[in-house]
Structure 1
């Protein structure tokens, strides 16, 4: 197995003059320039940190080309990359660093307050300033390609922490290489592709970086997430691929600015990180054409457990499916109910080997238990019903919040929904919902939508309006915070 960043170096040597990166700050790098700058930074890091194969280098940066230079410099030095989210509270980032003890923290000056601790070894750089990152490689000498075994940790990613303290996942060279090769195969990535990196490079947008660059393609890195800026970039640059969370696709679809004829080059507008109800997919089709694709994964098996291309989604009409297992992964259902629902389990080289924070991975007979409940149809399409720990039992019946949320989101005017349970002496758990909706959306219409889709037992007993749902730094709704907010209101 050739480590993925070394595969990029090979492709950069083959196509040094092809455009690789551009950003909103005006930076433009070819493949050769990216490789040269990243290798120079790697040499500087090697001079500073030595030949320590266990070293972790944390990076906090906004979306721009120097973020990728810094990330690839860490990879080429042979160290593990620990992405810190600039939107996280400083206390959380400091806690992460104190737990994982990075040898160095690289900080974009625009993010320096996100890790405001004088006890951490830090180096500042300014995006777009060649004296920034390049200063770290001054007088460093020649980059030495490290010996990288398949089980060498390449990335340390934190779980969402939606139920407590985040866990640090050891994503090895094998894990990242598997994700890159599977994404390239499923989405038929070539050197002609132009990817819009609108999601944070520290999280979801990272996984398309390597497959597109290895193929000789180009990334357009976005920091301005306004509909006008993103849609103009997609049109102007001939974007063919993009990964976005559903909330951003919904925002763009509802802007009134997106029309299919603006984006003739677009092949795959990929969503992940949260379900996207069929009603919202159809609205996105009106804005972009039938170009919506899906990916399913988790930090322990990143991005590419299952996927569905835009053509397959439109052709099969299975809009509620997360796709079929990617080439390197096997999926199965553990302990299915009579209707075929059970816990989704996965095995293969995409599965990370361990946590670095000491907790054991939930593996049974070689199968990673994902914690997601779902079913797999005879054609291999995966349908996710929700997280096992979030399932509600109301009146003796199982209710899956994600299914109720899909029904609520099918009603015009509802843009966000979160369903939760409240302890109740009669029902056991009473189904309630919090929604973000336009004025005039009727509660009874919402309940009727749920009854029609699932049944009366799942209809929310109370529906609360809220201006915005609380989300964690990676954009996932924090269900426990919503439940606590309205449980407190009920008890007041």
Structure 2
């Protein structure tokens, strides 16, 4: 089975059901979407060679969705470049992957003024919605790829270092799709809203929905007001959100009095959800919550925490709410040396571009996350290995301190990093976003943490900001936080 077979199957079952609804509100039924995918494959096949990289630099759109399926169908590798990066960062990724064709929105292509000189491999540049891309599906099956052929090449968020190019095959992506359909109990026939940029692995959720014949609504970017309107306009029943997005949505609903009566399910990831935020969401939305843990290298989620576990967490077992969930049956998760989480399964990428192994000789992926597993088999992500602060010879989990800080009534969000300290080696530094108009004293926050955690884990520095820097998939950008904290403290 190949990626585009998901759409072909849905088109055969319910041809006139909308497959994709773009940010402009235009719906494309499954049968027409299938035809457009075949046309993209035909055009790509006529203008490139097998194995070529076809790069895309664009906002979420129906045209982008066609490329998701159409480029791999032609036996080429869809290379997803984050449209929000600076041109210099984009040139670096394009130079590494050496695409022959670049597809994009005019606004993003116009920024790449040095594309031809910086990336000599490029022989053709075309806009994502060009009529020629969907003109004629003839020849789309001339070179049907194999399941293990590369389909997508996408970059990690780089939240803890230089982004790496991850190569996924049809087989690995479809393995993640099957795992999510089972692990999250995805309902057929629903309407799903995707607010994450499609250049990130979160875009695989579109395939998860198409696997059960559901409609996917694409948001060009996340804004709470536009998100709520899209839910109402299209009768959205399910969505995915980062906790930061959920907080913004709840604030919007509270301020406007708006409701989302059709919404039944919210999946979240990138961070555990604070218990107070979850309670507020359940009170206001009355939906099922699903947590998922995965990363770019796993082509999707590998563990899931379902609605029943969320309700149990709120009913007297709050520790469950900090869990990442239980591995689905088609993947293995274990704790390795130093507490590092290791993952193995068909959905795990075998390599980083161009030829660096992503897994060890036994197929285990080192995630870079530190975790533990409880007696009931739930995985807990303690922290990123790079986010462990070593102060006075003691290891401090930044996430643990962040959880303590966000339990304070006047703290909206917080990020904790290590900063150089002549005596301690590193000191714990908290960068805090306060609730509007209720900025607490730094000494009060330090005392608040010390009341909950052992003394050496308390912040020695507290800095306040209006908002935390985020990567485009909703994670706090710890590199940016670390640079800011060190700069402020030096000053």
Task: State the alpha-carbon separation in 2 of the partners of residues 139 and 292 from structure 1.
Answer: 42
- Counterpart of 1:247 in structure 2 is 244
The answer to whether structure 1 residue 334 and structure 2 residue 336 are counterparts is: yes
Given candidates 133, 136, 155, the residue that maps to 2:133 is: 136
Deviation at 1:284, TM superposition (A): 2.4
Q: Does the C-alpha gap of structure 1 residues 33 and 476 become closer, same or farther in structure 2, counting only changes over 3 Å?
A: same
- Secondary structure of 1:4's aligned partner: coil
- Counterpart of 1:219 in structure 2 is 216
- Counterpart of 1:458 in structure 2 is 457
- Secondary structure of 1:327's aligned partner: coil
Given candidates 415, 418, 421, the residue that maps to 1:418 is: 415
Aligned residue pairs total 479
Contact 1:240 1:268 in 2 (8 A): yes
Residues 308-319 of structure 1 mapped to structure 2, 5 A cutoff: 308-317=305-314, 318-319=320-321
Deviation at 1:365, TM superposition (A): 3.8
The answer to whether structure 1 residue 439 and structure 2 residue 437 are counterparts is: yes
- Counterpart of 1:339 in structure 2 is none
Residues 245-394 of structure 1 mapped to structure 2, 5 A cutoff: 245-257=242-254, 262-317=259-314, 318-335=320-337, 342-361=339-358, 363=360, 365-394=362-391
Residues 27-46 of structure 1 mapped to structure 2, 5 A cutoff: 27-46=26-45
Q: Does the C-alpha gap of structure 1 residues 116 and 163 become closer, same or farther in structure 2, counting only changes over 3 Å?
A: farther
Task: State the alpha-carbon separation in 1 of the partners of residues 447 and 282 from structure 2.
Answer: 25
The answer to whether structure 1 residue 62 and structure 2 residue 59 are counterparts is: yes
> Is 111-120 or 73-82 further displaced after alignment?
111-120
**Please, what is the CA RMSD of the aligned residues?**
2.4
Deviation at 1:327, TM superposition (A): 2.1
- Secondary structure of 1:433's aligned partner: strand
- Counterpart of 1:109 in structure 2 is 106
Given candidates 392, 400, 405, the residue that maps to 1:403 is: 400
- Secondary structure of 1:254's aligned partner: helix
Task: State the alpha-carbon separation in 2 of the partners of residues 115 and 307 from structure 1.
Answer: 40
Deviation at 1:114, TM superposition (A): 4.6
- Counterpart of 1:90 in structure 2 is 87
Task: State the alpha-carbon separation in 2 of the partners of residues 482 and 41 from structure 1.
Answer: 41
Contact 1:57 1:105 in 2 (8 A): yes
Deviation at 1:429, TM superposition (A): 1.6
The answer to whether structure 1 residue 174 and structure 2 residue 171 are counterparts is: yes
- Counterpart of 2:317 in structure 1 is none
Deviation at 1:362, TM superposition (A): 5.0
Contact 2:167 2:350 in 1 (8 A): yes
Task: State the alpha-carbon separation in 2 of the partners of residues 285 and 274 from structure 1.
Answer: 18
> Is 226-235 or 12-21 further displaced after alignment?
226-235
- Secondary structure of 1:179's aligned partner: helix
Q: Does the C-alpha gap of structure 1 residues 83 and 171 become closer, same or farther in structure 2, counting only changes over 3 Å?
A: same
Task: State the alpha-carbon separation in 2 of the partners of residues 140 and 263 from structure 1.
Answer: 39
Deviation at 1:85, TM superposition (A): 1.4
Q: Does the C-alpha gap of structure 1 residues 324 and 403 become closer, same or farther in structure 2, counting only changes over 3 Å?
A: same
Task: State the alpha-carbon separation in 2 of the partners of residues 11 and 256 from structure 1.
Answer: 34
Residues 116-155 of structure 1 mapped to structure 2, 5 A cutoff: 116-119=113-116, 120-125=122-127, 127=129, 132=130, 134-138=131-135, 141-144=138-141, 146-155=143-152
- Counterpart of 2:119 in structure 1 is none
Could you list the runs of 5+ residues in structure 2 that have no partner in the other structure? 117-121, 315-319
The answer to whether structure 1 residue 17 and structure 2 residue 16 are counterparts is: yes
Q: Does the C-alpha gap of structure 1 residues 296 and 142 become closer, same or farther in structure 2, counting only changes over 3 Å?
A: same
- Counterpart of 1:47 in structure 2 is 46
Deviation at 1:487, TM superposition (A): 2.2
Task: State the alpha-carbon separation in 1 of the partners of residues 56 and 90 from structure 2.
Answer: 11
> Is 320-329 or 234-243 further displaced after alignment?
234-243
- Secondary structure of 1:300's aligned partner: helix
Task: State the alpha-carbon separation in 1 of the partners of residues 14 and 197 from structure 2.
Answer: 27
Q: Does the C-alpha gap of structure 1 residues 147 and 286 become closer, same or farther in structure 2, counting only changes over 3 Å?
A: same
Could you list the runs of 5+ residues in structure 1 that have no partner in the other structure? 337-341
Q: Does the C-alpha gap of structure 1 residues 314 and 204 become closer, same or farther in structure 2, counting only changes over 3 Å?
A: farther
Contact 2:36 2:137 in 1 (8 A): no
- Secondary structure of 1:82's aligned partner: strand
Residues 469-480 of structure 1 mapped to structure 2, 5 A cutoff: 469-480=468-479
Deviation at 1:189, TM superposition (A): 2.2
The answer to whether structure 1 residue 72 and structure 2 residue 69 are counterparts is: yes
TM-score normalised over the length of structure 1: 0.91
> Is 266-275 or 96-105 further displaced after alignment?
266-275
- Counterpart of 1:235 in structure 2 is 232
Task: State the alpha-carbon separation in 2 of the partners of residues 160 and 22 from structure 1.
Answer: 26
- Secondary structure of 2:24's aligned partner: coil
- Secondary structure of 1:49's aligned partner: coil
- Secondary structure of 1:262's aligned partner: coil
